[in-house]
Amino acid sequence: MSDFVNKDSIVRSIWGRSDPILLIFAGSAAEFALNRAVDWLFFTGQIPGDPIGRLFSTVRYAQEIIFVDEATAQRTLDQIYSIHKSVERERGARIPDWAFRDVLYMLIDYTERAHSLLHRALTESERRELYDVFHRVGEGLRIPDLPANYVEWQEDRRRHLERDLEYSEFTRLLFEKYREHLGGWRYEILRLTQAQLAPERVRRLLGLTRPPLLFEAFRVYGLFTRLNLQELVHWLLLPSGYVDEVRSFNRSDTVSPGA
């Protein structure tokens, strides 16, 4: 049985290390809060109730897709699809197709942004590979009307950013939950991270600004990862009790992220 993602794939490299994963979900946390379908998060109560724990469970699902064979990946995708359908039945409404595309598009975009911030920009072939992997994830989740390739996705991503984001009461409440679970100074670090990662429209809606030298700070963090000092940084930035779980995101079967 063939692997769902090739062992030497840039996608495995990024999703097999804790540091880009944390950046991916820091950026996604900002954009999630602005999405016009964010009320679905409040219906289930999972992200507002435990935003960090929900992030970690999402990482586990993603790795159960990216680091396994085709058949195992499809079983995980079927499980996620069934969970969504169960939530829809409970609420008596359908999650909009565009909302599923928004989430998929976030994962693609922030995967690329995280790698660029910590290491280097992806090559054109790596961008195509990244999109191909998540396109197959989207197909496995029965998400309709996905763009055929990376270039078409870029155009659709821009349209989604303009059409599907707004600052709402749900946005305010979700950021309050982030602050509650992270604490004051860790919450401010989250906001700074989001300011560096997020597209311009997300930054504008959330009032995020990029302080001088912030980009260089992330370059230094990338150096810390290469020196295997990232656990010290995790200990400083994450609430107690989460460092061991973050360590478990690191996979030994990945190529060098900066190669």
Mean pLDDT of 240-258: 72
Which one-letter amino acid corresponds to residue 130? Answer: L
Q: What is the token pair recorded at 136? A: 């197959």
> For all residues of the chain together, what is the average pLDDT?
87
pTM to 2 decimals? 0.89
pLDDT digits (tens, 9 = 90+) for 58-87: 888 899 999 999 999 999 999 999 999 999
The percentage of the chain sitting over the pLDDT mark of 70, rounded to a whole number, equals 85
Rounded CA-CA distance 173/121 in Å is 34
Rounded CA-CA distance 175/120 in Å is 30
| pLDDT for the residue numbered 200 | 96
The percentage of the chain sitting over the pLDDT mark of 90, rounded to a whole number, equals 58
Residue 57 above 80 pLDDT? yes
Rounded CA-CA distance 153/140 in Å is 17
Residue 227's pLDDT band (boundaries 50, 70, 90)? Answer: very low
Contact indicator for 233, 45 with CB cutoff of 8 Å: no
Mean pLDDT of 6-11: 95
Q: What is the token pair recorded at 20? A: 């880009």
pLDDT digits (tens, 9 = 90+) for 112-162: 999 998 889 999 999 999 999 999 999 999 999 999 999 999 999 999 999
pLDDT digits (tens, 9 = 90+) for 174-210: 999 999 988 888 898 889 889 989 999 999 999 998 8
